[in-house]
Amino acid sequence: MLLSELLDFSDYEIVLGNDEKEVDSLVYDFRKAGPGSVFVAIVGAKSDGHAFLSQVLSAGTRIVVVEREEDAFNSIKDAGVNEEEVTIIKVKNTRAALACLSAAFFGHPANELKTIGITGTKGKTTTTYMVKSILENSGIKTGLIGTIETIIGNKKIPSVNTTPESYVVQQYFREMVDAGIKCVVMEVSSQALKLQRVDGFTFDYGIFTNLSPDHIGPAEHENFEEYLQCKSLLFKQCKLGIFNMDDPHFNEITEGHTCEMQTYGFNENADLRACDVNLFNEGGSLGVKYKLSGALNMDVKIDIPGKFSVYNSLTAISICEHFGVSKEDITKSLQDIHVRGRVQMVKISDKFSVMVDYAHNAMSLESLLSTLREYKPKRLVCLFGCGGNRSRDRRFEMGEISSKMADLTIVTSDNPRFEKPEDIIADIVTGVERGGGEYVTIIDRKEAIEYAIKNALPGDVIVVAGKGHEDYQEIEGVKHHMDDVELCLGAKELL
């Protein structure tokens, strides 16, 4: 294709050369650049693509997209390239440019899909799977992009980021269209919005689940205000916004929105409302039932515990209602939902309950344990570890919370990485002892899970926390296969 066809946006200036050149590939990794490439010099937290311009030109690339034209001119000299062969395109923001260029390179596939973007601190992953399940069961082929994986038909691609780089997003969209998929539901992280990974198209539906302090630090967001502001960007880039009206930050998130609005929650003014919530424990399975009113009137039952499951399902129903899905399909799909590693019930016995969850920080663990306390278990048993080469404060905090909220804490190994498991466990135990609760330490995670299940009492709820969907344990830079669900099912043989 011609470069002029790629430049399907207005915010650029050709400072050298022309746009009548053939383009074979679009790259933002200098190692993939070559003849026929357009190289986009992305400015990142750890590296700057402008630093590799001379290498890109030496590799045969003759079209570069930059924020600093002087770097490009200097690189032409450094690479010893004839200036007349090079095209320099200057933009204000190369990340925004990459998104627009990628959309054009892949033929604007979002125009051929119904696009659903879900943002919020919690609930994104579970909700995307709920939406996919409901739509698929009603006959609408649906793709998924999220924290765990990308799903394109029968193809599953493990995820590196919650939301991939814009080029990859558009590449996946094109694959989905070519596979006959009509809709895509994706998690949209605050980082993705900040780094413009979802620029270049407009979402049909943008969804807000909830907001609480998270991802705040030098490599992510400077403060909570920036975090909130980034989340709110989605609602200036979608046609219809669907919002959790109960969230205390509802007014701030919706400020300045340019989309139509719809709401859900327990609030009597919400368009879709939940009431009469009942928790149930049936044969080792924990779940929730409630009545839905407003835009739809129906009874809902979900085999996933907690009030947050009500919110997740309200989100999914609010979306799927716009696709004309029947109440029967919604009801059936929600009862069959199982999200890998997210409050995932593992059937071991009718006498006690076992759950695997990704809770890996103090806030998420406290939320999970307080939810499970509402089911009034005989004992609440919490098994977890903490990752190595990460904040020690997290270890103390998680240990103390588990000790205060669980009847028994089983401290074990997570991903020790380049630390000794014993040292990590010792830090966790420091926190556990502050809480004053009963605990045991078992370094080997498999043995720890076996201990929890072999010693379970009728009515117990056992939480295996921290790793969730991960199917490995990282030790000294090597990932060894380890899956908490598999370990739980294996321990079943010991009963």
- How many distinct structural domains can be found in the chain? 3
| Identity of the residue numbered 241 | G
Same domain, yes or no: 127 and 59 = no
* 302 sits in which H/E element: strand 298-302
What is the reported pLDDT for 169?
98
SS3 content of the chain, % helix, strand, coil (to 5): 35, 25, 35
Query: Cα–Cα distance between 238 and 395 in angstroms, integer?
Result: 39
In terms of domains, do 323 and 353 share one?
A: no
80/341 Cα distance (integer angstroms): 53
Does residue 216 surpass a pLDDT of 70? Answer: no
Query: For residue 46, what pLDDT is reported?
Result: 81
Instruction: Note whether 301 and 319 are same-domain residues.
Output: yes
CA atoms within 13 A on the CB side of 185: 23
Do 126 and 144 lie in a common domain?
yes
pLDDT at 253: 95
Q: What is the mean pLDDT of residues 13-27?
A: 97
Q: Is residue 363 pLDDT above 90, yes or no? A: no
pTM: 0.90
What was the pLDDT predicted at 425? 98
For the record, the structure tokens of 121 come out as 């601190």
pLDDT digits (tens, 9 = 90+) for 97-147: 999 999 999 999 999 999 999 999 888 999 999 999 999 999 999 999 999
- Residue 285 sits at φ, ψ, to 5 deg, of -110, 130
Average pLDDT (457-483) is 96
Q: What is the CATH number of the domain that holds 167?
A: 3.40.1190.10
Same domain, residue pair 262 and 151:
yes
What's the pLDDT score for residue 474?
97
E strand or H helix at 3, and its extent?
helix 3-6
Residues 65, 35, single domain; the answer is: yes
Residue 213 CB neighbours (<10 A):
12
Is the pLDDT confidence value at 215 over 80? no
Q: Report how far Cα 479 is from the mean position of its chain's Cα atoms.
A: 21
245, 136, 244, 236: which is closest to 185 by C-alpha?
136
Q: Return the percentage of the chain with pLDDT > 70, whole number.
A: 98
Summarize pLDDT for 42-100 with one digit per residue, the tens.
998 788 999 999 999 999 999 999 999 999 999 999 999 999 999 999 999 999 999 99
Q: Work out the pLDDT band at 336, boundaries 50, 70, 90.
A: confident
Tell me which range, 178-182, 228-232, 342-346, is most confidently predicted by mean pLDDT.
178-182
Q: What is the C-alpha separation between 43 and 53, in angstroms, rounded? A: 12
Same domain, 81 and 120: no
Name the range with the highest mean pLDDT among 8-12, 282-286, 326-330.
326-330
For residue 263, the one-letter residue type is T
Q: What is the pLDDT of residues 219-244, one digit of tens each?
A: 566 678 888 999 999 999 999 999 99
Where is pLDDT greater, at 307 or 449?
449
Task: Quote the CA–CA distance of 21 and 284 in Å, as a whole number.
Answer: 65
Instruction: Please determine, for residue 318, whether its predicted confidence score (pLDDT) is greater than 90.
Output: yes
What is the pLDDT at residue 326? 93
Q: Which element (helix H / strand E) includes 371? A: helix 362-373
- Are 229 and 316 within one domain? yes
Residues 268 and 391 in one domain: no
- Note the helical H segments in 374-481: 392-405, 421-435, 445-454
d(CA 372, CA 345): 12
For position 284, what pLDDT does the model report? 84
- 200 and 55 share a domain? no
Position 146 scores a pLDDT of: 96
Q: pLDDT class for 428, splitting at 50, 70, 90?
A: very high
Q: Which CATH number does the domain housing residue 99 bear?
A: 3.40.1390.10
Tell me the average pLDDT of the chain. Answer: 95
Q: Among the three residues 104, 119, 143, which one is the final residue of a domain in this structure?
A: 104
**Closest by alpha carbon to 109, among 37, 162, 184, 38?**
184
Q: Evaluate if residue 150 carries a pLDDT over 70.
A: yes
Domain boundary among 310, 335, 360: 335
Choosing from 281, 300, 335, the residue where a domain stops is: 335
**Are 153 and 235 in a shared domain?**
yes
Going by their DSSP bridges, the two strands 260-265 and 155-158 should be labelled as: unpaired
Residue 218 has pLDDT above 80, yes or no: no
Q: Based on the fold, state whether residues 318 and 449 are members of the same structural domain.
A: no
Which CATH number do you get for residue 406? 3.90.190.20
What is the DSSP code string of 321-377? Answer: GGGT--HHHHHHHHHT---TTSSEE----SSSEEEEE---SHHHHHHHHHHHHTT--
Domain of residue 466: give its range.
344-494
